[in-house]
Amino acid sequence: MKRALPLRLHAALATMALAAATGTLVSMPEASAATGSATGYATQNGGTTGGAGGRTVRATTGTAIHQALCGRASTSTPITIEVTGTINHANTKKVSGAGCDTADGVIELKKVSNVTLVGVGSGALFDQLGIHIRESKNIIVQNVTVRNVKKSGSPTSNGGDAIGIERNVRNVWIDHTTLEASGGESEGFDGLFDLKDNTQYVTLSYSVLRNSGRGGLVGNSESDRSNGYITYHHNRYENIDSRAPLLRGGIAHLYNNHYVRLNDSGINSRAGARAKVDNNYFEDSKDVLGTFYTDAAGYWQVGGNIFDNVTWSAPGSENRPAGPDPKSNTTVSIPYSHTLDEAGCVPAVVSRTAGANKGLQVSDGRC
């Protein structure tokens, strides 16, 4: 006599069938990824919690990510989407529903709130496919790799930005990501991490940005000064030509980052931007801080930084490097608590913690 299957097993088998059909799996509670807590400016303005308190869904395709968003009761229903495998153009299609506004060929977090997108398992790779956050709030993206997103050539996605955030966005935490390209604009790429058009209260932490002409910007023109309250900490910028980042207006806090081979310029504070630059390690680089390529000045407060084999250009009408002996020309008050690692420890700390698939490790205060 056959014994009836427990109801839980029936439910699990049904879930597996759904996963096979759509690439989506509702995870058991114990499988949920631990995202930790937001840091920096993302803790302000009510904080950033992403999909905390909502259901957890697993996705192995871009279409499944969109299906998870669209299947919510509303655009603000909390959800955590665990991603594993390779997400690319072939498996990322537009989906319609009450909780989404999606498109082909890009991960579209548009007009949504309370969403966590986190890589799990053996990793989540967004291959030539960008992540676009627009008109949204309370978003977490964590533990993913995004590579070779193009704005020209084929295939194109997200205007060439690995992660692009724009238009009335609030409270985003990007953490333990690897953002990379294989060249600059002439090879079809744009920025790795761009923020514009009234984007505020954002933190980029424990991430690797490498091999790109442009690291990223805050503000897409000298008049786009509605952005700000951005924190960059424990990131590694490696082999970047410029924009590490470019700041137009607003306030940014940059601490405990490791900059290696900034080829033309680094932190470009301009158009009234104010940058607090604490305990970073700059190495084998050129013009790592100042106002560049404009006569619209920006400002900085510096302290505890190490400049290791850094060269500086002569000042000119459109280039005002902070070095060779950087001094503060403004003051910036930081509203959140944070602990600074010694600058001399930053290369070791960032090496073992920053980037996707590092176990979400963070600094323990030791070298």
Active site residues: 243
Query: CA-to-CA distance for 154 and 148, rounded, in angstroms?
Result: 11
Tokens representing 237 are 């910028």
Q: Which residues pair with 200 in a beta bridge?
A: 170, 228
Tokens representing 53 are 């308190």
H-helix or E-strand spanning residue 132: strand 131-134
H-helix or E-strand spanning residue 147: strand 145-147
Q: Are 163 and 179 in contact (CB under 8 A)?
A: yes
Q: CA angle 327-328-334, nearest 5°?
A: 145
Compute and round to an integer the Cα radius of gyration of the chain. 21
CA distances for 63 relative to 26, 33, 104, 124, 142, angstroms? 15, 21, 9, 14, 19
CB atoms within 10 A of CB 336: 14
H-helix or E-strand spanning residue 366: none
Three-state secondary structure call for residue 15? helix
Three-state secondary structure call for residue 336? coil
Query: CA-to-CA distance for 261 and 284, rounded, in angstroms?
Result: 5
Q: Are 182 and 152 in contact (CB under 8 A)?
A: no
Q: Are 138 and 114 in contact (CB under 8 A)?
A: yes
| Residue 248: closest CA among 175, 205, 195, 301 | 195
CA 353 to chain centre: 15
